[in-house]
Structure 1
Amino acid sequence: MIPILLFASGLGAGAFGALLGIGGGIILVPLLNFGFGLPLGHAVAIALACVIATSSGAAATYVKDHRCDVRLGMKLEIFTVAGALAGAFVAPFMPRSALQILFGLMIVPVTWSLLRKAPSDGAASFDGQSVPVRNLPLGCGVSFAAGSLSALLGIGGGPIKVPAMNLLMGVPFKVATATSNFMIGVTAAASVFVYYARGMLDVGMAAPTVLGVILGATVGARLMPHVPTRRLKQVYSVLLVLLGAEMISKGLDFDLWRML
């Protein structure tokens, strides 16, 4: 029964991850931790493996259908990986609780801006070539910060990179989510091997979850062109608010999910 539930969980997380460019870790970590009783580190390890699966399953479809800006993704991922390495280096010296609270508070203006921006943002005209972007240096800097926060707080870079590409760089929202899916697997791949080396990746529980994620990501990638941009932004904003609330609760040292 548990493998079936893990598969179903992965299916849902993979579909949402592919639709929104977040990898599904926001959904899987609390679900595995509280729903299946896994220690947090083990839940994060499985979620990272699933992020790789989401990226692989969705990115293949997005690249094939010319919905992903590969050139921009490769540029930004260089800075994301550099940020992740820097974050891993300074993690022992940083006040994690203060960073968690700050990140949670930053979610508020990001969510407000996403909901206010016009829903029709040019994705239909994207032809698979590199889109003209503005503020590229700023986008690279935010990607570096996304990688750092991913290493410091255990979150994926998608919740930061998608709004940054859309709001700061002028990338159409759907192109931003597709490009994020292309990028997130690279960052997660570097991290998951560390967890595996520490014996924290339960392959028996990861296998059915990853299988569900691969199928869900493929379905989500196929559905994305048919889902209205406004609806995607609304769902994305809800997930951002939940992530922000979770970060603030961790920073204040109380368990939000247990209360819910």
Structure 2
Amino acid sequence: MKFARHGEPGHEYPIVSGADGLWRDLTPIAPDVTPDLLSRSEPELGLEALPVVTRLERFGPPLTGIGKIICIGLNYSDHAEETGAAPPPEPIIFLKAPDTVVGPQDDVLIPRASRKTDWEVELAVIIGTRARYLTSPDDALACVAGYTISNDVSEREFQLERGGQWDKGKNCETFNPLGPWILTADEVPDPQKLNLRLWVNGHLRQNGTTADMIFDVAHLIWYVSQFMVLNPGDVINTGTPAGVALGSPGRPYLRAGDVVELEIDHLGRQRQNLRATP
């Protein structure tokens, strides 16, 4: 199934799409898309009795109640190479605050004084079951509720040239467009067989596959569970393939007026207009 949130910012309502491909209004049985809702089956939800949504407008972030956003850096060998970094021996972890999340078609604000705002298409993993000190990666995928698309927008000067940790280059407002929908884990038998693509102003910049991750999704969940408890509603951004501005000739960082579009197989498509922070 696909779960999404639809409507104006701050007034989104939950919708769901099942085997018939129709979007249906979930408000008769659920006030919003929450982590526990993602675990319910199509028969449990009684989809056929729910009203069909005939007009789709804005998709909001596909989940409410997001806890932590755990991000993985340099998780594709080609991305590490393009930035001049050695492939890490262990996953690189940093955090994004939940208030960086916006809808998949919402504007992205270039921060004041920014000169190096960059893009990153990523597979995002939605945790559905508590994961704490998992025994092995073999136990990890059972903890996944679903998958969606994340644009891990980054300001490289803030991240890499201003001292301290990466967080201040990753947590600017609007820096985590998410969605358009969550595809439940049962519909993604192998998360290492998904293609990722990103365009800037119509030019293809990233064209990769999750098969090229240094640490696969199962390993990441297992690994993170050794250091922090993963709760339902937590999100893991699993890294980006080559093609970011930081690693491209001329370093064509984003400017106001640019348009970024991104997609992952089966998970839909995002489109953001870049504008200056007022």
Bigger strand fraction: 2
Greater helix percent: which structure? 1
Please give the range of the TM-score, normalised by the shorter of the 2 chains: under 0.3
Larger Rg: 2
Structure number with higher relative contact order (C-alpha < 8 Å, ≥ 6 residues apart): 1
Q: TM-score, normalised by structure 1?
A: 0.23
